[in-house]
Structure 1
Amino acid sequence: MGVTEKLWDALTTVIKMNDKIERLAGTVVTQQQKIEQLTERVIRLETALEIGLATRNGPRRIEHKTRE
Structure 2
Amino acid sequence: MGVTDKMWDALTTVIKMNDKIERLAGTVKSQQDRIEQLTERVIRLETALEIALATRGTRRLEHKA
- Match of residue 45 from structure 1: 45
Structure 1 residue 41: deviation in Å? 0.3
Percent of paired sites with the same residue: 83
- Match of residue 32 from structure 1: 32
Alpha-carbon RMSD? 1.0
Q: Using CA pairs below 8 Å that are at least 6 residues apart, which structure has the higher relative contact order?
A: 1
Q: Where does structure 1 differ by over 3 angstroms across 4 or more consecutive aligned residues?
A: none
CA distance in structure 2 between the partners assigned to 1:11 and 1:54 by the alignment:
64
How many residue pairs end up in the alignment? 59
Q: Does 1:21 align with 2:21?
A: yes
TM-score normalised by length of structure 2 = 0.87
Structure 1 residue 33: deviation in Å? 0.3
The residue identity in structure 2 corresponding to 1:48 is: A
TM-score normalised by length of structure 1 = 0.83
Q: Extract unaligned runs of 5+ from structure 2.
A: 60-65
Higher-helix-fraction structure: 2
